[in-house]
Amino acid sequence: MKGYYYIGLDVHKKVIAYCVKKADGELVDEGTIKATKEALKEWVHSIKGRWIGAMEATLFTGWIYDFLKPHAFSLKVGHSYMLRAICASKKKNDRIDASKLADMIRCDWFPECHMAPKEIRDLRRVLRYRGLLVREAVRMKNKTSGLLMEVGAEYDKKKLRGRRYFDELLDELDYIPDSVIELLSLTRSNMEIFDANQKRLVDELRNNIVLKDRVERLMSIPGVGEITALTWALEIDDPHRFSTIKKAASYCGLSSAHDESAGKLVRHPLSKQRNKHLQTVLVEAAKLAPRWNPQLALLYEKERERGANKNQATLAVARKLVAYLLFVDKKEEEFELRTAA
């Protein structure tokens, strides 16, 4: 597109390297600016003309993307893995990286990735933080068990999470040091705080006006709970960006990597190019879903009869869950379990 500037942005925590080129590749300007809103505002107003920008997906990309997008004719975010493969070279620095990004967007071979709307990304951040709270609560629970084992205390593992049992247990443990009692109480209070906060975040997300109807439709699938539905809705964003179930399953990390050359096919374990948040939730859901979904239970048993181990059968169930979730999300209708005539 003639008359447009093509800008590559190499984003870092404190600085942003930029390179401005014309459609024919002529260098217009290059340099670095501070990664602050004030510096970006001054820089973007210095560009005289319409421009198309490109940047790599990083931890810092989100706010820069939101700030610059209203000023750009088009602003794209690149897939980090693909950009690493394309930009591999012997000599590498911020200036060269920005120049290559400008060339890629100028020549229209920039590997763009999906950028969810700001509202969805904000909600996604909350859900991922909820996962952190859950992990910390589990750590506190395990630490409680560890402290009791260190002093040789007898306890019921299944009841340890209960508040009444824990209080009664502390009263009975008169033979252990006071310092351990204090640590047990502190660990217990931390676990309760983490647990209460993660439940509050889930309630807020589920009742959010943007997600409420969508999550309820997804939860109409037998075996899909609120965490699975919330994770799917926020991590997938727009289900129509996946044209097939296979592509959606691959994004969720449920497909194996494979190399094919000269007629020889070599399969590898599950690919590391995936959304790890979706992969974790779907695999966990697939372990429990057959209890409530007869079709998934039948699928699990068929996979086991074919010689698949438990993990392989669980992955088959997870892929079927992806098919259900994608269908319901695209149709925007509640799930109806079909039975044989």
When mean pLDDT is compared across 30-44, 117-131, 219-233, 259-273, the lowest value belongs to 259-273
Instruction: Look up the CATH superfamily of 5-106.
Output: ATPase, nucleotide binding domain (3.30.420.40)
How crowded is residue 298: how many other Cβ atoms within 10 Å of its Cβ? 11
Residue whose structure tokens are 């340890």 = 160
β partners of residue 75: 53
- DSSP 3-state helix, strand, coil percentages of the chain (rounded to 5)? 55, 15, 30
Confidence bin at 155 (pLDDT 50/70/90): confident
CA–CA distance, 88 with 111 (Å, rounded to integer): 15
Render pLDDT for 191-235 as a digit per residue (tens, 0 to 9).
Answer: 999 999 999 999 999 999 999 999 999 999 999 999 999 999 999
pTM, to two decimals: 0.89
Q: 3-state DSSP call for residue 218?
A: helix
Written as six digits, the tokens of 62 are: 């989100």
Confidence bin at 65 (pLDDT 50/70/90): very high
Written as six digits, the tokens of 217 are: 């439709």
Render pLDDT for 246-270 as a digit per residue (tens, 0 to 9).
Answer: 999 999 999 877 666 666 766 667 7
CA–CA distance, 321 with 193 (Å, rounded to integer): 33
pLDDT surpassing 60 at residue 340? no
**pLDDT more than 70, % of the chain:** 94
8 A C-beta contact, residue 191 and residue 182: no
Share the mean pLDDT of the chain: 91
CA–CA distance, 55 with 101 (Å, rounded to integer): 7
Residue whose structure tokens are 């993307």 = 65
Nearest to 47 by CA among 66, 85, 89, 75: 75
Q: Going by C-beta distance under 8 Å and a sequence separation of 6 or more, which residues neighbour residue 113?
A: 57, 77, 78, 79, 80
